[in-house]
């Protein structure tokens, strides 16, 4: 079993990082022989896509020049990491109502025609089917469905849509909301940790035990 962990907060000791830590901790206990691949987008500065990148990405792979292959090398490596993973956990801080720029840069590198999405006569087909994705968000405010601010959540709907486009449709969202300073922050984190332990257990295809919940 392989777990791919993506962190995308600019802050070292961030809430979303602490929560992806908890996910990995639980997952590892249940998969002692499992492998965790860590991709920290604060320390792996991904290039933004360029004219050269788009030309190469939309060319026939057999006709790529060595320079074009080099242009796509980072994207290829990130796509390989995704293809190899059984489970993907993403730590996603909310910045300006949506994902952080490093997470968007990662998405731009992994949504690849011919690699993660195929165009056929009946439309598009995502390649990455059958993998479990857990997205742990951290937000200063609260955007639950039914609240007056729900309409400003451009994070969960966007991630569901774009990851679904490449075949990642089995997505569990866990939101640590109200993380701005105040009384609501700690209980919200505790509730998120409970859900994380359940999600990490579910991702390992092993029944949840009482012990799992007392980490
Ligand atoms: C640049 C920036 C923009 C932010 N924008 C929002 C926002 O639009 N809505 C919100 O609820 N919180 C916002 N926040 C608060 C963060 O979502 C919150 O601090 C969260 O814990 C960040 O995740 P992290 O601790 O993993 O970095 C913002 C924080 C920063 C630094």
pLDDT in tens, 88-118: 999 999 999 999 999 999 999 999 999 999 9
Across residues 62-68, what is the average pLDDT? 98
- Summarised one tens digit per residue, pLDDT across range 122-163 is 899 999 999 999 999 999 999 999 999 999 999 999 999 999
Q: Which pLDDT score, from 0 to 100, does residue 205 have?
A: 62
Give the count of beta carbons closer than 10 Å to the beta carbon of residue 115: 20
pLDDT at 120: 87
- pLDDT at residue 122, rounded to an integer: 87
Stretch 36-42: mean pLDDT, rounded?
Answer: 97
pLDDT band at residue 197 using 50, 70 and 90 as cut-offs: very high
What total of structural domains would you count in the chain?
1
Report the pocket of ligand 1 as residue ranges, CB < 6 Å.
Answer: 9, 11, 14-17, 93-97, 138-141, 179
Site to probe by mutation for ligand 1, drawn from 94, 135, 151 as the one with most ligand atoms within 8 Å of Cβ, is 94
Give the mean pLDDT of 46-51.
Answer: 97
Half-sphere exposure of 213 (CA within 13 A, CB side): 8
Residue 210: per-residue pLDDT: 61
| pLDDT surpasses 90 at 212 | no
**70 Cα: distance to centroid of ligand 1 (angstroms):** 35
Q: For residue 206, what pLDDT band results from cuts at 50, 70 and 90?
A: low
Q: Identify each DSSP E strand in 121-197 by its residue range.
A: 123-126, 132-138, 170-176
Residue 162 near residue 111 (C-beta atoms within 8 A): yes
Is the separation of the CB atoms in 116 and 82 below 8 Å? yes
Mean pLDDT of 186-215: 81
Ligand 1 center from residue 74 Cα (angstroms): 28
pTM: 0.94
| Shortest-distance atom of ligand 1 to CA 9 | 27
**How far is 106 from 101, CA to CA, in rounded Å?**
9
10 CA: nearest ligand 1 atom? 27
Which letter does DSSP use for residue 128 in this model? -
Mean residue pLDDT across the chain? 94
Query: Ligand 1 center to residue 44 CA distance, Å?
Result: 20
Q: Averaged over 57-73, what is the pLDDT?
A: 97
User: Which ligand 1 atom is nearest residue 143's CA?
Assistant: 11
What is the predicted pLDDT for the residue at 153?
A: 98
Question: What CATH number does the domain containing 53 carry?
Answer: 3.40.50.360
Whether 50 has a pLDDT exceeding 60, the answer reads yes
- 194: which 2 tokens? 């409970």
The answer to whether the CB of 37 falls within 8 A of the CB of 2 is yes
Distance CA 88, CA 81 (A): 10
pLDDT tens digits, 73-91: 999 999 999 999 999 999 9
- Give residue 59's domain range: 2-214
Of all protein residues, whose CA lies closest to atom 9 belonging to ligand 1? Answer: 97
Share of the chain above pLDDT 70, in %: 95
């Amino acid at each position: 079993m392989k777990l791919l962990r993506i962190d995308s907060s600019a802050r070292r000791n961030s809430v979303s990082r602490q929560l992806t830590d908890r996910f990995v901790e639980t997952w590892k206990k249940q998969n002692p022989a499992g492998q965790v691949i860590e991709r920290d987008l604060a320390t792996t500065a991904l290039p933004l896509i360029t004219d050269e990148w788009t030309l190469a990405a939309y060319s026939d792979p057999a006709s790529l020049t060595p320079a074009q292959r080099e242009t796509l090398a980072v994207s290829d490596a990130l796509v390989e990491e995704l293809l190899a993973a059984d489970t993907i956990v993403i730590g996603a801080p909310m910045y300006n109502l949506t994902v952080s720029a490093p997470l968007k840069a990662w998405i731009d590198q992994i949504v690849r025609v011919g690699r993660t999405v195929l165009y056929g006569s009946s439309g598009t087909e995502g390649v990455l089917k059958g993998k479990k994705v857990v997205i742990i968000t951290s937000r200063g405010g609260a955007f639950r469905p039914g609240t007056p601010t729900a309409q400003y959540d451009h994070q969960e709907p966007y991630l569901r849509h774009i990851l679904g486009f490449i075949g990642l449709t089995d997505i569990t969202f866990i939101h640590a909301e109200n993380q701005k300073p105040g009384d609501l922050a700690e209980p919200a984190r505790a509730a998120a940790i409970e859900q994380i332990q359940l999600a990490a257990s579910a991702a390992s295809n092993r029944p949840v035990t009482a012990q799992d919940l007392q980490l």
